[in-house]
Structure 1
Amino acid sequence: MSNEFSTSGSSWMQDNMSLIGPRKLIDICITGSHDSGMSKITGHTLGGTECNTITQTHDVGGQLNLGARYFDIRPVITGGGYSTGHYTHVGDTSWQGANGETIQEIINGVNAFTSENAELVILNLSHSLNTDLGNNSYASFTQDEWNGLFKMLADETNGLKFLFSMPSDSDLTKQTLETFIGNGKSAVIVIVEGDNVDLSDYSGKGFYPYSSLNAYNKYSDTNDVNAMMSDQLKKMKEQREKGSYFLISWTLTQDAVQAVGCNSPIFPADSVLDLASTADSKLLSHLKPAITQSDYPNIIYIDDIVNRDFVTVAMYANGLI
């Protein structure tokens, strides 16, 4: 494996351009990060703690260097500014969770990486929340609030560099990798997942509706690793047969007891990072052997990126496809 393909985290796409460059995105496998901004807590509710909100050890810049290329960015408004967050609506009465990296920190991390590495970076924006409205009144962004975020991301001075422009109604999965980065320059695309978000002011400027990628993304919602693997591998086969752009959610989810109990010094339960360690340890032993020339994920999506195993699996898939 290592003698055939490069699995260097910082440049694995460019290092393997002769193999994957001429292929469309739907015909290659890339690497993804779940709840990407939650490597630290910068503010939280009463029930939001490290053990039930932290999903990553490294910040987005660190995840990029370890090989992640698709990022789950969940923007929130807090204190009038834009950050990332990990929140759950509890009992229809309140929101519980925490804030992570600020959007500006993520912009800075992406820019630092793409200035040195000509790779494709995909930022998927979803689960927007205005947390300044009162704990039982959090709401998805209004169009004006989305526009404020877009303006920040697209700012010529402090925004994202290397935004890749093509018509906003383009099917990105039908574009070859070399279309984006074959010229030796980085490319950043922003996917916006939200109801009735108007992107017309940013059309052709690197911002795209979710339909332009349309990744099938259905997590297993279980803390049982065997149940998760069975569910996701079944979905992989089904969705590849349908020709879908498929994201395999190789993640475990705390149940209610774990989410509360992981705070207990007497009866501690598994944290999100504990569950991530369990799932990630199965990448080489269970996901890799399940991949065939026809059955493969387009995005391998994990919590707690601490090594390059998911790059190894992605390039194994690319060698078979």
Structure 2
Amino acid sequence: MSLPKLCSLQNADNKKYRCNHATKLASDYKPPQCLFELLPYGNETYAIKNVDNGEFYQNHIRSLASSVKGDGQLWTIVPEAEGTFTIQNVENGEYMTSHAGQLHKGKPGANEHWVIEAREEAKPDLKASFYGFLKNQSNNEYRCNHASQLKDKPVVPNCLTKFIPYDDGTVAIQNQDNYEFFQSSILTMADRVTSDAQKWRLIEVDSEEGNTFYVKNVQNEEYMTSKASQLHAGKPGKDEVWVIEPFDCAQTSSWMSSNAALIGNKPLSEICLPASHDSGTYKRTYHTQYGTQAVTKTQIFDIQMQLMQGARKLDLRPALWNGDFYTAHYTDISKDSGLAATFKVGFQGAAGVALSEALEQVAAFIENNQGELVILKFSHFIDWAKRDDRKDNGLSAEQSRLFISMVRDVLGAHLITGDATNLSSLTVNELLTKGNVIALMPNGFEGIDSMAGIWAIDQLPGEGGYSNTNVLENMVANQEKKLTSHSHDNKSFMMNISWQLTLDTTNCISGATLGTPTILSYAQKANAALSPTLSEWLVHGVINGTYYPNTLQTDICFEAQTQAVALSLAVTRQVERLLHERQETLPA
């Protein structure tokens, strides 16, 4: 029997509800306190996560756990008579009962039966999301990544805001630097939306400036005002008027469909695409001691905005953590590594965004841009709970199937299906007739089935790799060498340029302990050199009809910095021209 992901747990005997307090039951259902997420581990086994506090029920039933560390935080949920269930701890074999602070040992009775009811909360409409800057009309200052501060200029990403509509007519307001939400307790920000406290109503105000609103909190009905650390109760006035200045990405959001005449009838192997490196670590959900932002954050925009900035290949590295799949960025520190003297031997890093959320953003982007093609490359799979067991830290067959199921459930008809042996030989138009998303898994991954939209990485053959240096000149030389070592003549493949600088041992130690240097600081240096370098390669024939890139992969996928869309089009035009000239010289 399939169980709902979001649900309430009501004892069938006393009719009370499990809640965010381990030793209490609630008389009435009230979200988010009584709302739970069931995270499947296979074979009727689940982690039970409270949505309000993000903690897990465990065998020590009088307290909640902050993470899933083993069988103590897992439960077997088995259907019983009359639509009820028993909930049995995997480690000690005992059952949840009608007394919140106790578990029952032995055969379960009426007190141990639970009603699991699906709960549908108001859902975000990512397709209708929009990005902009929230400026107070009275003082011309902007909301930013600090709840109690305003900025005098709309700095990206510090002041960039995502407005996420809900189907109840409200919006969540998320800062795009720390990825936290403004809420009724205005001095602090929330890491997720759990209640009306993180929802707002945008009430339109007549103004010559246009796009002006009162911003009213749903829970306390107070208004954002010109003082960042205060909300205004009562009738709103001029200090409560806010202007939403749009963050325009129209040209890069739909660059493929806008250039369909150029790229539509070309195979993937004859066009160039911007690509994102470690796409999911624009935020940190969890991190190890030394997995600081300085050494793990590679992007400044969320997945939806990276696509709106023009990226068409995403690098997603899944980690199973606390019963759910997240993106991850990590380093395995061996005993002979230069990092071992400072850091503990083992894995250091961070979990980023939930993969389901990342894929929902991909789906939302595609629904708004149906003429665009997106490649998702999944790699570096890891079960985070077993990360230091280097011989067995991958996913089990069951976990792999759960992952594939999630990808298919979220992306559905957007997935490109078929039986091609080499996707790079298909034209953009041919691919778009089958869907919008190519999902690539490691060779041999459990559940690969191209007819169901899940492809092996070898079905989109590629060359190239990262340079493993923090010296710009060395990286440029290495990428040029890789580029000019792989001819496209009579071969259909994707040549990948990896335009990243990599922190060395000294950088990693300093970044993890002192906060500097950062991956992002090196990315800015690399990105500044991308357009001048590739423009020179185009002029001097380094990029030609034989040697040319098919993807330009960067950190900080921000077109204003990288010019990756403009460069991709320039490369594609040059390759088209040179191949046409070559064709004309062939004997009739």
> 1:78 corresponds to which residue?
321
CA deviations 1:9-61 (Å, max 9, x no partner) are: 11111111111111110011111100000000000111100000000000111
> 1:147 corresponds to which residue?
401
Structure 1 residue corresponding to 2:386, chosen from 121, 127, 133: 133
- In our comparison, the structure showing a higher alpha carbon Rg is 2
| Greater helix proportion | 1
> 2:354 corresponds to which residue?
102
Distance in 2 (alpha carbons) for counterparts of 1:143 and 1:256? 35
How far the C-alpha of 1:258 sits from its partner, in A, is: 0.6
How far the C-alpha of 1:161 sits from its partner, in A, is: 4.5
Q: TM-score scaled by structure 2? A: 0.50
In the alignment, is the contact (CA less than 8 A) between 1:49 and 1:263 conserved in 2?
yes
Give 3-state SS (helix, strand or coil) of 2:400's partner: helix
The one-letter code matched in structure 2 to 1:225 is L
> 2:509 corresponds to which residue?
260
User: What's the C-alpha RMSD, in Å, of the aligned pairs?
Assistant: 2.0
Distance in 2 (alpha carbons) for counterparts of 1:203 and 1:23? 22
How far the C-alpha of 1:248 sits from its partner, in A, is: 0.5
The one-letter code matched in structure 2 to 1:247 is N
> 2:445 corresponds to which residue?
197
Aligned counterparts, 1:253-292, within 5 A: 253-265=502-514, 269-291=516-538, 292=543
Give 3-state SS (helix, strand or coil) of 2:350's partner: strand
How far the C-alpha of 1:215 sits from its partner, in A, is: 1.3
In the alignment, is the contact (CA less than 8 A) between 1:111 and 1:161 conserved in 2?
no
Structure 2 residue corresponding to 1:51, chosen from 269, 282, 294: 294
In the alignment, is the contact (CA less than 8 A) between 1:56 and 1:304 conserved in 2?
yes
In the alignment, is the contact (CA less than 8 A) between 1:250 and 1:300 conserved in 2?
yes
Structure 1 residue corresponding to 2:308, chosen from 65, 74, 86: 65
The one-letter code matched in structure 1 to 2:269 is I
In the alignment, is the contact (CA less than 8 A) between 2:387 and 2:393 conserved in 1?
no
In the alignment, is the contact (CA less than 8 A) between 2:464 and 2:482 conserved in 1?
no
CA 1:197 to 1:136, structure 2 compared with 1: closer, same or farther past 3 Å?
A: closer
Q: Does 1:23 align with 2:266?
A: yes
CA 1:269 to 1:206, structure 2 compared with 1: closer, same or farther past 3 Å?
A: same
How far the C-alpha of 1:133 sits from its partner, in A, is: 2.2
How far the C-alpha of 1:186 sits from its partner, in A, is: 5.4
Give 3-state SS (helix, strand or coil) of 2:462's partner: coil
Distance in 2 (alpha carbons) for counterparts of 1:74 and 1:173? 22
How far the C-alpha of 1:262 sits from its partner, in A, is: 1.6
How far the C-alpha of 1:264 sits from its partner, in A, is: 4.2
Report which stretch shifted further, 63-72 or 217-226.
Answer: 217-226
5+ residue gaps, structure 2, are 1-249, 336-344, 576-588
The one-letter code matched in structure 1 to 2:266 is R
Distance in 1 (alpha carbons) for counterparts of 2:431 and 2:459? 15
Distance in 2 (alpha carbons) for counterparts of 1:276 and 1:172? 30
How far the C-alpha of 1:288 sits from its partner, in A, is: 2.6
How far the C-alpha of 1:239 sits from its partner, in A, is: 1.1
User: Which of structure 1's runs of 4+ aligned residues deviate more than 3 A?
Assistant: 134-138, 158-161, 241-244
> 2:465 corresponds to which residue?
218
> 1:235 corresponds to which residue?
482
The one-letter code matched in structure 1 to 2:256 is M
Q: Percent identity?
A: 29
Give 3-state SS (helix, strand or coil) of 2:452's partner: coil
Distance in 1 (alpha carbons) for counterparts of 2:487 and 2:525? 26
Q: Does 1:170 align with 2:405?
A: no
Distance in 2 (alpha carbons) for counterparts of 1:96 and 1:264? 13
In the alignment, is the contact (CA less than 8 A) between 2:441 and 2:457 conserved in 1?
yes
Distance in 2 (alpha carbons) for counterparts of 1:68 and 1:159? 18
Distance in 2 (alpha carbons) for counterparts of 1:13 and 1:32? 14
Distance in 2 (alpha carbons) for counterparts of 1:152 and 1:193? 17
How far the C-alpha of 1:142 sits from its partner, in A, is: 2.4
Report which stretch shifted further, 130-139 or 306-315.
Answer: 130-139
> 1:114 corresponds to which residue?
366
How far the C-alpha of 1:160 sits from its partner, in A, is: 4.5
Report which stretch shifted further, 290-299 or 25-34.
Answer: 290-299
How far the C-alpha of 1:145 sits from its partner, in A, is: 1.7
Distance in 1 (alpha carbons) for counterparts of 2:299 and 2:513? 21
Distance in 1 (alpha carbons) for counterparts of 2:275 and 2:446? 26
Report which stretch shifted further, 55-64 or 142-151.
Answer: 142-151
Distance in 2 (alpha carbons) for counterparts of 1:283 and 1:252? 12
Distance in 1 (alpha carbons) for counterparts of 2:535 and 2:413? 34
CA 1:25 to 1:264, structure 2 compared with 1: closer, same or farther past 3 Å?
A: same
Distance in 1 (alpha carbons) for counterparts of 2:437 and 2:450? 15
CA 1:41 to 1:161, structure 2 compared with 1: closer, same or farther past 3 Å?
A: farther
In the alignment, is the contact (CA less than 8 A) between 1:24 and 1:173 conserved in 2?
yes
Give 3-state SS (helix, strand or coil) of 1:68's partner: coil
Distance in 1 (alpha carbons) for counterparts of 2:564 and 2:387? 39
In the alignment, is the contact (CA less than 8 A) between 2:294 and 2:516 conserved in 1?
no
Structure 1 residue corresponding to 2:498, chosen from 226, 240, 249: 249
How far the C-alpha of 1:307 sits from its partner, in A, is: 1.9
CA deviations 1:264-287 (Å, max 9, x no partner) are: 44xx64211011111111111112
Distance in 2 (alpha carbons) for counterparts of 1:232 and 1:256? 22
